[in-house]
């Protein structure tokens, strides 16, 4: 079966590469000529664990191809995935211009029955709009399917190859059978393919991300209360996470969520509600709390150093919004850095993968270190913003000797407060303001 994937961003590239790994002939299409040429030469444009091996293997074996030509890319394809950006507009709703522009062009290129798949995260009703645009020029039968992605950055290859579930919104039996055949290699371990109507599938993606964002935000609010009452949020997390009605995942307190999905999807779901005359009560609170949480370490830092931070130097461990990715979109570290710079401070940072992306945003407004220890030398304090594995077990004697003050502001609760006190650190974390 030949497959086309329009768009080689995070979702499109992972989708195309993983589909080719199971034997499908895949052509990925993108308008960026330099990016396409680089991919043809085996250069992976994003950091995602496990992706490079599959990428190189399937290019070498001729199953994974790239082009800038939409006509060339979709020729002969039975399934065309639309994995195009849907950035938030001024009102927070998803901007569908890229998807609808491609849909308009596709109509005149279809030569036989084809399934067009909305893989991007899109609001309810998008499939109807895509169908209308394709139909303007289509001379053959086609179907539009909603197939939301549930890929976690940092674990996307495993998530695609061994999904918890595959959600497919279909409107005809013909589309159901073809998509069921397409995904059969990925569900041999017994995980379900869930067929439903198209609008339910579109809503499922937003509902899933909004719920996970709510779990994170709820735990951060509990952490804020824990600090005031002298409780330990880690103990609370263990106490409620073992309840199988709640579950342990997404209950780690910290400095908020970021990335390409949660912020955009919560905003878009809230806007969808408003457009249909329904005002969410939970989602605005989730967004508000999360924004404050990204900056929640700063008042604690200013308690120790004062409001005017001119001449102070702070080291950051982590810039990506989460570990195992180079994605810095809505990363809490960037929000904190902007506030510190505005207060007159200097910042030096290290991240295993995300520094090039931050250089593109901040240029020389901050300094960049070659490793975690280098950025500590002479810094007034260390701020841990991303829970990369390399930061979990540092040489604390070395850390203390390099810092001007033995002070760590840990936004990800990586370390044991008892141990940190024994080592002589002033250790500030999230929701663990306990007497030790």
Question: Do residues 119 and 145 make contact, with C-beta atoms less than 8 angstroms apart?
Answer: no
Q: Is 28 considered catalytic here?
A: no
What tokens appear for 26 in the block? 């895949």
- Tell me whether residue 143 is exposed, middle or buried, using C-beta atoms within 10 angstroms of its C-beta: 0 to 12, 13 to 18, 19 or more: buried
> Rounded to whole angstroms, how far apart are CA atoms 26 and 16?
6
The two three-digit tokens of residue 204, written as one number = 């499922």
Q: Are 226 and 240 within 8 A, CB to CB? A: no
| E strand segments, 136-197 | 142-146, 166-169, 193-196
3-state DSSP assignment of residue 103: helix
Stated as kind and residue range, the H or E segment containing 428 is strand 426-428
> Is residue 22 within 8 Å of residue 57, measured between CB atoms?
no
Measured distance CA(85)–CA(62) in Å, rounded: 27
Q: Which of 18, 261, 375, 429 is catalytic?
A: 261
Q: What are phi and psi of 116, to 5 degrees?
A: -100, 125
Which residues are part of the catalytic machinery? 261
């Amino acid at each position: 079966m030949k497959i086309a994937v329009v768009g080689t961003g995070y979702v499109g590239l992972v989708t195309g590469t993983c589909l080719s790994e199971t034997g499908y002939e895949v052509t990925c299409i993108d308008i960026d000529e330099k990016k396409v040429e680089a991919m043809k030469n085996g250069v992976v444009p994003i950091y995602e664990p496990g992706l490079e091996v599959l990428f190189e293997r399937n290019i070498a074996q001729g199953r994974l191809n790239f082009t800038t030509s939409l006509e060339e890319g979709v020729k002969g394809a039975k399934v065309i995935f639309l994995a195009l950006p849907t950035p938030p507009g001024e009102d927070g709703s998803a901007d569908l211009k890229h998807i609808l522009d491609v849909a308009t062009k596709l109509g005149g290129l279809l030569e036989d029955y084809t399934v067009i798949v909305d893989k991007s995260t899109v609001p309810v009703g998008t499939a109807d709009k895509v169908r209308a645009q394709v139909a303007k020029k289509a001379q053959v039968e086609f179907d539009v399917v909603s197939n939301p992605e549930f890929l976690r950055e940092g674990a996307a290859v495993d998530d695609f190859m061994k999904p918890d579930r595959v959600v497919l919104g279909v409107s005809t039996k013909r589309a159901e059978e073809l998509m069921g055949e397409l995904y059969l290699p990925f569900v041999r371990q017994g995980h379900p393919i869930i067929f439903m109507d198209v609008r339910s599938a579109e809503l499922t993606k937003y509902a899933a991300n909004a719920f996970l964002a709510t779990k994170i935000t709820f735990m951060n609010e509990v952490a804020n209360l824990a600090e005031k009452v002298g409780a330990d949020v880690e103990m609370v997390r263990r106490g409620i996470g073992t309840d199988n009605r709640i579950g342990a995942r997404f209950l780690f307190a910290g400095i908020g969520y970021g990335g390409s999905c949660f912020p955009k999807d919560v905003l878009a779901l809230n806007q969808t509600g408003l457009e249909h005359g329904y005002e969410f009560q939970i989602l605005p609170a989730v967004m508000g709390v999360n924004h404050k949480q990204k900056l929640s370490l700063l008042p604690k830092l200013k308690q120790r150093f004062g409001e005017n931070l001119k001449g102070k130097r702070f080291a950051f461990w982590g810039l990506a919004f989460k570990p195992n990715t180079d994605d810095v979109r809505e990363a809490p570290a960037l929000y904190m850095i902007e506030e510190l710079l505005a207060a007159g401070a200097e910042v030096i940072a290290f991240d295993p993968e995300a520094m090039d992306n931050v250089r593109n945003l901040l240029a020389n407004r901050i300094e960049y270190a070659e490793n975690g220890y280098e950025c500590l030398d002479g810094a007034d304090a260390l701020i841990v913003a991303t829970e990369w594995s390399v930061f979990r077990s540092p040489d604390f004697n070395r850390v203390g000797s390099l810092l001007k003050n033995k002070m760590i502001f840990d936004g990800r609760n990586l370390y044991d407060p008892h141990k940190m006190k024994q080592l002589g650190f002033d250790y500030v974390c999230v929701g663990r303001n306990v007497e030790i």
